[in-house]
Copies of this chain bind each other. A is one copy, B any other.
Amino acid sequence: MKRLVPAPSATPAASLTDRLARGDLMAAACPSREVLRHVTSRWGVLVLIALEGRTRRFGDIRRAIGGVSERMLAQTLQWLEHDGMVDRRARDVVPPHVEYSLTPLGREAAEKVRALADWIEINLPRIAESRPRAGRGVAT
């Protein structure tokens, strides 16, 4: 009889539903966690940023983001499309021609994501500094 759950006291099922409706990242079962995963995935962040303000073709995006494989880019774009962040528009022409752009939802997300990315880029020196140097003590 060990209690595996933290605090089972007074937790009506109704409130749980409410919390999940609005989204509660601290709750293990919240669907928002999946969205977060997509948006903050390795390439998700970069795709959102690459698409900010402009429509781009697949190959275009690929060349813009260093290191993405076609497979991963396609996958990431599908995740984001599924989450309503990206709009995919394919022309039915012989050499495939597909254009990707952000939806209003995607634009909002991209804004937040870019804010974080920008912060990291700008503060990289500070972060690197605070990292423990191997074999070297702190500078006086």
Contacts and interface: CB of A to CB of B under 8 A. Distances in A.
A55 interface: no
A12 interface: no
A71 to B, nearest CB: 16
B126 A32 contact: no
Interface in A91-137: 103, 105, 108-109, 112-113, 115-117, 119-132
What's the interface size class on A, roughly? 35 or more
**Secondary structure of the A side of the interface?**
helix
B45 A124 contact: no
In the assembly, how many copies of this chain are there?
A: 2
B66 A32 contact: no
Contacts of A89: none
Contacts of A40: 40, 45, 116
A72 interface: no
A117 B36 contact: yes
Nearest to A66: B28
A100 to B, nearest CB: 16
Contact of A103 (B21, B29, B130, B132): B130
Given A25-B46, A32-B121, 19 more contacts: A22-B121, A22-B124, A26-B50, A26-B64, A28-B67, A31-B124, A32-B124, A35-B120, A35-B124, A35-B127, A36-B117, A37-B42, A83-B127, A84-B127, A84-B129, A103-B130, A105-B130, A108-B123, A112-B112
